[in-house]
């Protein structure tokens, strides 16, 4: 059976309503319709073609990205798209570009940190793209340690201006997307100095290039930092380097919603609480979690379809076995499929959390902010690390062909993997979560009850003593049993870490010494959040024949696979017994068998076009091999039969005439 026959046959096995699952995946019927419409709009427009991206040189690649981004903006204007529609259109264009930082960081920074007057001045220009902005925080010498930034902003009261300066080589701004060649403005983070005193790091709107000829303004040195990992991939983006030599800006270009500098140079805390700034951080990180589910589901879609098309070994009646039928393949692939859905639903919940936190902050209620900050930091770390690893695993699941750029997986990995370091290094973020957890444990019994995702720690005494009630493999399919196991594991790890820390005279010395253990506790807590939010999703009204059953299967696969991977935690903390662990594996194998006939339909529910997937291996029609063969002949090396260099190098070698060759 050829690939074009296999996938339709696989789809005929499905046991649920795929169209209903598409709506569940999208979040709502409206979101599905918007996404579907924008995906097809992009896929049907030749201007957004991208299958030659990996063969382009850097300059050609970058110019092509400029063309696409500008054309996308033209279509957004012509079609009068809403902000939601425009965002989905840019998503499906699927090319990192200067617009990412403009809309994703520059605009939110001004909205979150600018005064009403500043917003009225700058946002209309940004919304019309009459200025193009980026976000200049990271420096050559400092990234995650924002308080260690070296760029200075010194107030000059005589001229009512700030002087922005890069005092060292390591203070050069480094990495901002869009900075290298495009951005006209940046939100620049610098150490505020007034009257010889430092007042921490603050944001400033700085014009970088002339709006007439695009040349850098006086005192500004600016450029691209060079090629990054992968073919095409993130090399479509002009990540930049920026240094300031005593650049002057008006005082009113400091973002002053929270902290202000007066005409006389006095620093004043505004009536707006400083905590509001964290709302922007929560927004950005919940977006990153949503992006993780998109990238992971894309890789899983490719690997699942190709695993069904590919046949290898086990020949019966002259027909080899589909790779997806091997238990080893299912054991590696299906937990990744489950993770894609799990991350989608925890991302949905984070959207709600952002709205809730924002409303509370505006009402001067800061009670949930520390927990929300720790939660978003931890989930950003957990989902991006898991997704980067999963994309690489999907490449391996596709065998040798996964290594071809035509598979779409090498470029997807190269584009995605920076997420593990931008917006907070993943290990640093987990250490922040660990600090919060240890503090929460230390406050137990003080009358301050844990809230939100840490509420389970309020039952720590019970969780320290409970024993898992699993007698049969089917007992693992009880939500209460599964959640208690994950809660007990996390609670016991948190308490153990807190007790070990208490043995150190200096808490910071203890934190440094035990940091690896603390990271493990933070991971356990974050995995509990994802599992619990998946179960919460199952409590909702889920329409569609068989849809809920498939989601239940995926939920238990996600949880049981984590239990298997982190079995040492569960056993060493006494949450479960070796016999119960064995029963969990039995149940996991059973779930794989239940997912198998539905696997292709479950990835179809992502509703990705072939254009967006950008993969010969993941084609909807399964016509893999003829298209791989066709793709090979498009390579520039095949433009001629004899390669460039034949007469200079190959012919003399073959004719044993090297002594006559001009090498």
DSSP letters, 444-494, are TTTT----GGGGGGGGHHHHHH-----SSGGGGG-HHHHHHHHHHHHHHHH
In CATH terms, the fold of domain 132-272 is: Butyryl-CoA Dehydrogenase, subunit A; domain 2 (2.40.110)
Phi/psi for 56 (5° steps) reads: -90, 145
Contact 458/449 with Cβ under 8 angstroms?
yes
The torsion angle over the Cα atoms of residues 646, 647, 653 and 656, rounded to 10 degrees, is 150
Under DSSP, the state recorded for 217 is P
Average pLDDT per consecutive 10 residues, the chain (663 residues; last block may be shorter): 82 97 97 98 97 91 96 97 96 96 94 94 97 96 87 96 97 96 97 94 97 97 95 92 98 94 90 73 88 97 98 84 96 98 96 89 83 93 98 97 96 95 92 96 89 94 93 96 97 96 94 96 98 97 96 98 97 95 97 98 98 97 96 92 91 78 62
Which token pair is 567?
Answer: 């079995």
pLDDT value at residue 1: 54
> Domains of the chain: which residue ranges?
132-272, 277-604, 633-663
Interior angle at CA 219, CA 217 and CA 221, nearest 5: 80
Distance CA 69, CA 65 (A): 6
Contact 380, 253 (CB under 8 A): no
Kind plus residue range of the DSSP H or E element containing 12: none
- Residues above pLDDT 70, as percent of the chain: 98
> Cα–Cα distance between 18 and 601 in angstroms, integer?
6
3-state helix, strand, coil in the chain (%, to 5): 60, 10, 30
Task: Give DSSP secondary structure letters for 282-350.
Answer: HHHHHHHHHHHHHHHHHHHHHHHHHHHH-B-S--BTTBPPBGGGSHHHHHHHHHHHHHHHHHHHHHHHH
Which candidate, 429, 396, 402, places its Cα nearest to that of 329? 396
* Residue 637 Cα to chain centre, angstroms: 35
Output the CA torsion sign for 156, 159, 160, 162. negative
What is the distance, to the nearest Å, from the Cα of residue 470 to the centroid of all Cα atoms in its chain? 36
Show Cβ contacts of residue 21 under 8 Å, excluding neighbours closer than 6 positions: 544, 547, 550, 601, 602, 605
Going 426 to 431 to 437 to 439, the CA torsion angle's sign is negative
Q: Please say whether the beta carbons of 166 and 136 come within 8 A.
A: no
Is 526 within 8 Å of 379 (Cβ atoms)? yes
Angle between helices 409-416 and 277-309 (to 10 degrees): 170
- Count CB neighbours of 573 within 10 A: 18
Rounded CA gap, 385 and 419, in Å? 8
How far is 243 from 222, CA to CA, in rounded Å? 7
DSSP string, 153-202: EEEETTTTEEEEE--SGGGSEE--TTTTTT-SEEEEEEEEEETTEEEEEE
Nearest to 134 by CA among 144, 143, 126, 146: 126
Q: Is 423 a catalytic residue?
A: yes
Question: What's the confidence (pLDDT) of residue 476?
Answer: 97
Please report the pLDDT score of residue 364 as a whole number: 81
CA distance 255 to 437: 32
- For 247, the 3-state DSSP assignment is strand
Other beta carbons within 10 Å of 628: 16
Q: What is the Cα 505 distance to its own chain's centre?
A: 39
Please answer whether residues 600 and 18 qualify as being in contact, where contact means their C-beta atoms are separated by less than 8 angstroms: no
How many Cα atoms occupy the beta-carbon half-sphere of 268 within 13 Å? 12
Alpha-carbon Rg for the chain in angstroms: 27
Beta bridge partner(s), residue 220: 244
Q: What's the rounded Cα separation, in Å, for the pair 338 and 531?
A: 11
**Is the domain 277-604 a CATH 1.10.3720.10 member?**
no
Out of 95, 411, 423, 487, which one is annotated catalytic?
Answer: 423
Is the CB of residue 204 less than 8 Å from the CB of residue 242?
Answer: no
C-alpha 573, offset from chain centre: 31
**Residue 177 labeled ligand binder:** yes
Q: Which two tokens stand for residue 199?
A: 């007042």
pLDDT at 661: 59
Orientation angle between helical segments 426-442 and 515-538, nearest 10 degrees = 80
Contact 468, 541 (CB under 8 A): no
What is the predicted pLDDT for the residue at 660?
A: 62
Q: What sign results for the dihedral spanned by CA atoms 193, 199, 201, 207? A: negative
Task: Answer whether 608's CB lies under 8 Å from 601's CB.
Answer: no
pLDDT of residue 482: 97
Q: How does DSSP classify residue 237? A: S
Residue 614, annotated as binding a ligand:
no
The pTM of this model reads 0.94
504 φ, ψ (degrees, to nearest 5): -90, 135
The DSSP result for 592-651, as a single string, is: HHHHGGGHHHHHHTT---HHHHT-STT-TT--HHHHHHHHHTTSGGGGSSSPTTIIIIIH
Q: What is the pLDDT of residue 662?
A: 64
């Amino acid at each position: 059976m050829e690939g074009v026959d296999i996938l339709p046959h696989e789809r005929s096995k499905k046991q649920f309503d795929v169209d209903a699952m598409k709506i569940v995946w999208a979040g709502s019927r409206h979101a599905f319709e918007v996404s579907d419409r924008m995906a097809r709009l992009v896929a049907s427009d030749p201007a957004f073609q991208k299958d030659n991206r990996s063969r382009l040189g850097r300059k050609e690649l970058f110019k092509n990205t400029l063309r696409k981004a500008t054309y996308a903006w033209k279509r957004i204007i012509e079609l009068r798209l809403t902000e939601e529609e425009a965002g989905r259109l840019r998503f499906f264009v699927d090319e990192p570009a200067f617009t990412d930082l403009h809309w994703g960081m520059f605009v939110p920074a001004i909205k979150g940190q600018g005064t009403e007057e500043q917003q009225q001045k700058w946002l209309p220009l940004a919304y019309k793209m009459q200025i193009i902005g980026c976000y200049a925080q990271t420096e050559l010498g400092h990234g995650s340690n924002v308080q260690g930034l070296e760029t200075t902003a010194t107030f000059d009261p005589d001229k009512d201006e700030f002087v922005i300066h890069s005092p060292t080589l390591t203070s050069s701004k480094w990495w901002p997307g869009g900075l290298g060649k495009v951005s006209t403005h940046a939100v620049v983070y610098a150490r505020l100095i007034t009257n010889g005193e430092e007042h921490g790091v603050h944001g400033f709107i700085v014009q970088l290039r002339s709006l007439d000829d695009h040349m850098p303004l006086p005192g500004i040195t600016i450029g691209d930092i060079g090629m990054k990992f992968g073919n095409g991939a993130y090399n479509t983006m002009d990540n930049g380097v920026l240094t300031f030599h005593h650049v002057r800006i008006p005082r009113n270009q400091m973002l002053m919603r929270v902290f202000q500098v007066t005409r006389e140079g006095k620093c004043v805390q505004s009536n707006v609480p400083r905590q509001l700034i964290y709302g922007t951080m929560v927004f950005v990180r919940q977006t990153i979690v949503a992006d993780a589910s998109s990238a992971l589901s894309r890789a899983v879609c490719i690997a699942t379809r190709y695993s069904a098309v590919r046949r290898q070994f086990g020949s019966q009646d002259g027909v080899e076995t589909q790779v997806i039928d091997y238990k080893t393949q299912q054991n590696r692939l299906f937990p990744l499929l489950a993770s894609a859905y799990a991350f989608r639903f925890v991302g949905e919940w984070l959207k709600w959390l952002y709205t809730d936190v924002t409303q509370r902050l505006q009402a001067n209620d800061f009670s949930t902010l520390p927990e929300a900050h720790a939660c978003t930091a931890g989930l950003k770390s957990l989902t991006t690390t898991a997704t980067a690893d999963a994309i690489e695993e999907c490449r391996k699941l596709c065998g040798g062909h996964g290594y071809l750029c035509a598979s779409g997986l090498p470029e997807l990995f190269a584009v995605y993997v920076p997420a593990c370091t931008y917006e907070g290094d993943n290990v640093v973020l987990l250490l922040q979560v660990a600090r919060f957890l240890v503090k929460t444990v230390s406050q137990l019994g003080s009358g301050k009850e844990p809230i939100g995702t840490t509420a389970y720690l309020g039952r720590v005494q019970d969780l320290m003593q409970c024993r898992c009630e699993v007698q049969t493999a089917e007992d693992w399919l009880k939500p209460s049993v599964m959640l208690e196991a994950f809660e007990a594991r996390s609670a016991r790890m948190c308490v153990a870490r807190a007790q070990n820390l208490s043995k150190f005279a200096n808490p910071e010395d203890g934190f440094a010494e035990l940091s690896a253990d603390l990271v493990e506790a933070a991971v356990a807590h974050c995995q509990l959040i994802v599992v619990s939010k998946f179960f919460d999703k199952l409590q909702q009204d889920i329409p569609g024949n068989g849809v809920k059953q498939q989601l239940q299967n995926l939920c238990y696969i996600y949880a049981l696979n984590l239990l298997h991977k982190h079995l040492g935690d569960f056993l060493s903390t006494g949450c479960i017994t070796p016999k119960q662990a064995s029963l969990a594996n039995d149940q996991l194998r059973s779930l794989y068998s239940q997912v198998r006939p539905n696997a292709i339909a479950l990835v179809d529910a992502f509703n990705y076009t072939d254009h967006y997937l950008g993969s010969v291996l993941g084609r909807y029609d399964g016509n893999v091999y003829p298209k791989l063969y066709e793709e090979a002949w498009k390579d520039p090396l095949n433009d001629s039969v004899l390669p460039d260099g034949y007469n200079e190098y190959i012919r003399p070698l073959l004719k044993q005439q090297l002594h006559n060759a001009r090498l």
